[in-house]
């Protein structure tokens, strides 16, 4: 169900922007991508146990719109999803998964970089929401503010097709301790710490219009 909603959101967003913003039609890029997301470590405040998300593959889409009057700057919508597991770290050993979790990023921001040539490096910064969906029965999802910083390169094969490589750090803000993945007032984990950090490397196909 979550995956179908994710795809529906992307479809509506693309269609809406195409219809309501024709001024961007000549300076618009769609980049579906696959990636690998790492990190996501924190401590349970009640047990002192170190918890982490598995490093797994991820996927998503980037929508980029060139800013009027500035050929080097682009507005970017970034959507991604990672299907992972939350585990307890025990020294050299890793405990049984506590639960499966889908981590989704819904971000808005921008890129700045070289605007000419077949090879175009850039830097990127975005902000938005991290939506964490536990697969346990009755557990509530969590939505937290997050931001990202990174960079990469665009390699254009033709005027309308290219390859995009980028890497980013994502920081999700928890503002100290608090319960997550709760059901009927009882929470599976009490997070200790302010920022949950993840790192992702992506590769995608640019479709430029």
| Largest Cα span, the chain | 57
Number of domains the chain is built from: 1
Residue 78 has a CB neighbour count (10 Å cut-off) of 25
Domain encompassing residue 195: 2-208
Backbone angles phi, psi at 122, to 5 degrees: -155, 160
- Percent of residues, the chain, with pLDDT higher than 70: 83
The mean per-residue pLDDT over the stretch 52-61 comes to 96
Domain with residue 138: its CATH number is 2.40.160.20
pTM (predicted TM-score)? 0.82
pLDDT for residue 164: 98
Tell which residue, 44, 7, 82, 8, has the closest CA to residue 190: 44
Distance CA 145, CA 196 (A): 11
pLDDT for residue 29: 96
What pLDDT digit, counting tens, does each position of 187-205 carry?
Answer: 878 887 789 999 999 999 9
Task: Give the chain's mean pLDDT.
Answer: 84
- Percent of residues, the chain, with pLDDT higher than 90: 56
pLDDT for residue 96: 61
Distance CA 131, CA 49 (A): 23
Residue scoring higher pLDDT (152 or 18): 152
pLDDT band (50, 70, 90) for residue 65: very high
Contact 91, 60 (CB under 8 A): no
What pLDDT digit, counting tens, does each position of 124-165 carry?
Answer: 999 999 999 998 778 899 999 999 999 999 999 998 999 999
Give the total residue count for the chain: 209
pLDDT for residue 9: 46
Least trusted range by pLDDT, from 8-17, 41-50, 64-73, 171-180:
8-17
Distance CA 146, CA 133 (A): 16
Which one-letter DSSP state was computed for residue 19? H
Task: Look up tokens 């819904």; give the residue.
Answer: 106
What are the start-end ranges of the E strands in 54-141?
Answer: 56-66, 73-90, 93-113, 119-134
Task: Kindly give the pairing relationship between strand 195-208 and strand 28-39.
Answer: antiparallel
Inter-CA distances, 143 with 4, 106, 133, 139, 173, Å:
19, 10, 9, 13, 10
What pLDDT digit, counting tens, does each position of 23-48 carry?
Answer: 333 489 999 999 999 999 888 877 77
The mean per-residue pLDDT over the stretch 104-110 comes to 98
């Amino acid at each position: 169900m979550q995956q179908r909603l994710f795809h529906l959101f992307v479809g509506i967003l693309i269609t809406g922007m195409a219809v309501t913003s024709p001024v961007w039609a000549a300076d618009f890029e769609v980049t579906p991508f696959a990636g690998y997301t790492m990190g996501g470590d924190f401590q349970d405040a009640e047990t002192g146990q170190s918890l982490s998300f598995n490093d797994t593959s991820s996927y998503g889409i980037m929508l980029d719109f060139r800013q009027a009057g500035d050929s080097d700057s682009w507005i970017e919508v970034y959507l991604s999803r990672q299907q992972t597991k939350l585990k307890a770290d025990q020294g050299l050993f890793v405990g049984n998964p506590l639960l499966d979790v889908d981590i989704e990023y819904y971000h808005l921001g921008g890129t700045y970089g070289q605007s000419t040539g077949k090879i175009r490096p850039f830097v990127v910064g975005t902000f938005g929401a991290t939506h964490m969906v536990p697969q346990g029965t009755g557990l509530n999802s969590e939505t937290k503010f997050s931001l990202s910083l990174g960079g990469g390169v665009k390699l254009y094969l033709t005027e309308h097709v290219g390859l995009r490589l980028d890497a980013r750090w994502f920081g999700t803000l928890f503002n100290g301790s608090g319960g997550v993945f709760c059901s009927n007032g009882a929470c599976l984990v009490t997070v200790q710490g302010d920022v949950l950090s993840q790192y992702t490397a992506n590769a995608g196909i640019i479709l430029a219009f």
